Structure formats: C-alpha cells, structure tokens
Amino acid sequence: MSLPLIATVVLVGLFFGYRLYGGFVARQYALDDANPTPASRHPDGVDFVPTRPFYLLGQHFSAIAAAGPIAGPILAAQQFGWLPALVWISIGVVFIGAVHDLSTLVASVRHDAKSIAEVVKLQLGPRAGTAMLVFIWVALIYVIVAFTDVTASTFVQGDPELTGLTFDFHPGGAVAAASMMYLGLALVMGLVDRYLKPKLWVQTVIFVPATLGAVWLGTKLSTVVVLGPTAWGLLILAYCFVASLAPVWLLLQPRGYLGGFVLYLALAVGVIGLFFGGFEIQQPAFKGFSVGGNTGVLFPFLFVTIACGACSGFHGLVCSGTTSKQIEKESHCHPVAYGAMLSEGFVAVIALATVMIIGNQEMAGKGAGTIYGIGLGRFFAVVLGQKHLAFAITFGAMAFSTFVFDTLDVSTRLGRYILQELFGWSGRVGGWAATGLTVGVPMLFLLVAQPGSWRSFWTLFGTSNQLLAALSLMGVTVWLQRLGKKYWYTLAPTVFVSVVTLTSLVLQMKEALSVTATRVSQVNGVVALVLTALAGHLLYLGARALLRPTPVAVAA
C-alpha cells in the first residue's frame, strides 16, 4: 500500500464522515440560526465577538491542533505499527472525537457560553462541578509535563543526516534558536498591533515571512544556544509562567495568529510529500498486540497513546472556553467544531506518515519532535530541493515546537483559572500563586525524572485527556436526555472511552506496584488512582441521573 493511496482513502473517508455522520449529529441538535447565540446576545468586543465561520475555523483549528496529534501517532506506530494507528485515527475522529467537539460546543452555546465544567455542574450538581474542575487541573498538569519534556528533547536532539554539512551545525540548537526568535516576533507583533494599529494584512505581509526568516536564521545560529534537556525544561516552564500571566494581546493572540500560518504551511507540505514525494513505507504495518509490560498491550494503550488525533478532552475546554463566545450562528457549529476535528485527524495522518518513511536504525533514540521534523523536512525538500534540507528539517521541528508552545500557554492559563476559582484566589497575588502552583508541580515531575521521560508521562496524559472527553460527553448526554432528545450518539462514545481509559488507569496502577517500577511509574500510579476516584464519582453521578431522569431539563 502506497502513501498516496492511504492519503486518498483517508481524505475520502473524512469527507463522507463530515457530510453523512457529521450531518446526522448536527441535525439531532436542531441547529437554528433564528436562535441568538451568546456572541450576538452579549457582544462586548473582548470575549463575546461574533466571528465569521471561515476566520473562526482557522482560530479554533490552530488552538486545538497542537502537538498531541503529532507525538501520539508517532509513538503508537513505534510500538504497534502504523496500520492500527491509522485505523484508530480514521474511525475515532469521525465517530468519537468530532462528535465530542461538536457536542461540547453546542452544549456551551446553549448554556450561554458556559464552560464544560459549568455545564456538568448544572446537569449533575455542585459536587460534580468541583470534581470536574479538579480532574481538569490534574489533566492539564500532565499536558504541561509531557509537552515540556518532549520539546526539551527536540531542542537537544539532532539528525545524523545533517552532520555532513560543510558548516558547524547543531540541529537541536537550530530548532531552539528558531523557536525563540518566533516567540520574539510574536511579542513584537503584539506591541505593534496594540500601539501602532496597522492593518492586519500589513502585519501579515511583514511577520509571516519573518517567521520563515527566523527558521533560516536559526540554521545559521544553531550553535549559539545549546543547553541540556533539564535546563531547557526549566526555561520552558519559566516561559509558561510569564506567558500565562501576560495580557492576551501581547503574546497569546499574535502567537496564535502566526502559529496558524505555520500549521497551514505544515499541512500543505505534508500533502505535497504524501502525494508527490515518492517515499516508500519503511515501517511494518503491524508489530504485535503486546510489546511487553503492563503498559505495552494494544488494548487499551493504542487508543490512549493517540489521544488528540482521534479524541481529545482538551478540545472541549477550547470549544466551551473561547469558541462558544464567538459563534455567530448556530449552524456554524458544525463546520467549526466537527470540521476542525476532522482536519486534526488528517494532521495526525501526516505525522504518522513522517515515521512511516524512516527506518528503525535512523529512528532509534529520537523523540517525536525530532522524528516529525525529519519527516516533514523531507516532505518540504520535495519543493525546496535537497540543498535546503537543513532549513526544511529545522522548519519541521520548529513547527512541532510552535504547536507545543500554543498548548503550554493555554494549559497554564487554564490551570491558573481553575485554581483561582477553586480556592477563591483573586487579584494579582492570587494569579501569581495559582500560576506558580500550576507550573511548580510539573517542575517537580521533570526534576525527579530522567531527561527524555516524556514517553512515560505520555500514556497517563493521553489517558486523562480522553477520560476528560468521556466525562464531558456524560454531562452532554444527561442534558440531552432531560431535553427528551436522542442521546445514543453521545452515550456510546462515553461508554467506549470510559472502558478504555479506566482499563488504562488500572494497568498503570498495577505497573506502579510491580517490583521493577521506576519512580516515574510510581508517581503515575498515584495520579492514576486520584483520576480513577474522580472519574468514578462523576460517572456514578451521570449514570444515576440517566437512570432517574428529571422530567424538566435544566434551563440553558
């Protein structure tokens, strides 16, 4: 089976998935443009801003399409082979992930743009709302831990293919330098937009090419910033602290805008490489049902390893946090939420292709970001030519780190919000304390773990992320039942994802009790126990609500 044929089959499947099953789910919600959305009821020019679907789709897509759909497929292919990964991405994204995203967005819009945690609180009670907030915070901690470690590894590792270049070149240093300059450009763009207020097209013409210029300059300054993985991890967490407290106009908005162009360019490069690169598949389609250990069996660990590419609870936080406040008409929920999730599924397929074209010997010892950079760089070299391979591979790896920074920034900011709400911490001091705790816990994780331990953290990250999706769908299911609507299309994914993730948590707890357990495994086991208790409580409340239906739905 060739890469062009695989890409064609996936694209056709995603198209019909959007038209047929996506259309079916959208009809169940009876989306009606006559119903005023929160953005049209409360336009304040800050949070509630009615936005055209084309622009909102791009913003939403760049917010959800972070490093998850890249690292997960690469790791799963290394463990179980590319075929199981491809099947799970293709089926999961249509019937589970996109259904979750559309459902959480519609539920938030119908509940006056409240967060998914508030929706759960309204449907299942205050105790459920508190448990949901704690669960989300713990899940965000593992997002920060896993993504910080994998990015630090990307800044350190290099590609042997580039060592024969005629100038002194450090691949990891090039990615680090390019990423730092990219963040600096975002800061400058935020200041220019705030105080000079030029037209958006003028800023685009200046700063988007400058982003590519930063990649080129990174290859020339690759030996300037060369640090170890622990140092990079601490610096990245320091960035998280500052970025989450900075005004959104200064960094989050301009970085997200520039990151969107990086994402689209990476997608275009991936499509060109898949269809016109002529690359051969060098990885086996299937490696076995078990690769050893309690956490090395295909079920459930294939499913939780590929979290964001098939199903992600983090998306529900974005849908109900920012996107629901910008939906102009209810009918836009279908293309924005369902369509963006299917697009992320294709991002995952491109990431899977980058590992499929690399041999085992060349891949040995490399992290997901480095592998993605190598593969995407080879796709890019189809256009640029082999003489620009250093630039192409640096762009691929920097694209990965760009997506990571977007996730880290948002996750730290959301973690701060949750702690401030749980403990009633207000003001600047409360914000600093909540941010310090949200960043401090991942710092302890990274200091006690060996550098490059992101694989050990990734399994629990993926598990908690998907279990969050199941809990969100449970809240939506109760809401639909109380409205007297069909709800099997949300209940079925809830049950399946709950079984997969709870099985994963139990096996990780078992791994923590084994005589060969590492310190990281033991910590994961404790966290898995906490997550299991919180999820069990929420699922119990949801099941009780479904078995004892309330005759009148909670008012939106």
DSSP string, 360-424: HHHHTT--HHHHHHHHHHHHHHHHH-GGGHHHHHHHHHHHHHHHHHHHHHHHHHHHHHHHHHHHT
CA 11 to chain centre: 21
Q: Compute the distance between CA of residue 532 and CA of residue 526 in angstroms, rounded to an integer.
A: 10
pLDDT at position 58: 77
Chunk the chain into consecutive blocks of 10 residues (it has 556) and report each block's average pLDDT, rounded to whole numbers: 93 97 97 94 81 82 81 91 96 98 97 93 93 94 85 63 43 75 90 89 92 82 74 88 83 78 87 92 90 76 91 93 91 96 95 91 77 86 81 78 76 86 86 92 84 78 95 97 95 98 94 84 92 96 87 48
Q: Environment class of residue 161 by beta-carbon count within 10 Å: exposed (0-12), middle (13-18) or buried (19+)?
A: middle
User: What stretch of H or E contains 17?
Assistant: none
pLDDT at position 122: 93
Tell me which residue of 229, 219, 213 sits closest to 155, measured CA to CA: 229
Beta bridge partners of 515: none
CB 85 within 8 A of CB 73: yes
Size of the chain in residues: 556
For residue 378, give its domain range: 3-58+89-547
Q: Compute the distance between CA of residue 62 and CA of residue 131 in angstroms, rounded to an integer.
A: 29
Q: Environment class of residue 382 by beta-carbon count within 10 Å: exposed (0-12), middle (13-18) or buried (19+)?
A: middle
CB 139 within 8 A of CB 147: no
Judge whether 69 lies within some domain.
no
pLDDT at position 172: 67
DSSP string, 18-29: IIIIIHHHHHHT
Beta bridge partners of 297: 290
520-to-91, 230, 461, 528 alpha-carbon distances in Å: 32, 16, 13, 12
**Count of structural domains within the chain:** 1
Q: Is 327 in a helix, a strand, or coil?
A: strand
Q: Compute the distance between CA of residue 7 and CA of residue 417 in angstroms, rounded to an integer.
A: 40
Here the tokens at position 82 are 């590319």
319-to-97, 146, 231, 441 alpha-carbon distances in Å: 12, 22, 34, 26
Q: What is the DSSP letter of 326?
A: T
pLDDT at position 194: 85
Q: What is the DSSP letter of 162?
A: G
pLDDT at position 544: 94
CB 182 within 8 A of CB 258: yes
Here the tokens at position 411 are 């996750």
Q: Could you give phi then psi for residue 545, rounded to 5 degrees?
A: -65, -35
Here the tokens at position 193 are 């937009």
Judge whether 206 lies within some domain.
yes
Judge whether 41 lies within some domain.
yes
DSSP string, 112-161: TT--HHHHHHHHH-HHHHHHHHHHHHHHHHHHHHHHHHHHHHHHH---GG
Query: What amino acid is encoded at 159 in this protein?
Result: D
Judge whether 388 lies within some domain.
yes
Q: Compute the distance between CA of residue 204 and CA of residue 480 in angstroms, rounded to an integer.
A: 43
Please state at what angle helix 340-356 crosses helix 82-92, rounded to 10 degrees.
180
Task: Please give the span between the terminal C-alpha atoms of the chain, in angstroms, as a whole number.
Answer: 50
Q: Compute the distance between CA of residue 171 and CA of residue 394 in angstroms, rounded to an integer.
A: 7
Judge whether 117 lies within some domain.
yes
pLDDT at position 165: 38
pLDDT at position 283: 92
Here the tokens at position 293 are 């250990």
pLDDT at position 167: 38
Q: Is 202 in a helix, a strand, or coil?
A: helix
pLDDT at position 43: 85
Judge whether 556 lies within some domain.
no
Q: Compute the distance between CA of residue 314 and CA of residue 64 in angstroms, rounded to an integer.
A: 8
Judge whether 176 lies within some domain.
yes
Q: Compute the distance between CA of residue 46 and CA of residue 159 in angstroms, rounded to an integer.
A: 44
Judge whether 79 lies within some domain.
no
Q: Compute the distance between CA of residue 268 and CA of residue 379 in angstroms, rounded to an integer.
A: 10
The conformational region for residue 323 under phi > 0 = left, psi -120 to 50 = alpha, else beta, is alpha
Q: What is the DSSP letter of 290?
A: B
DSSP string, 42-91: S--SSS---B-HHHHHHHHHHHH-SSHHHHHHHHHHHHH-HHHHHHHHHH
CA 387 to chain centre: 33
CATH number at residue 416: 1.20.1740
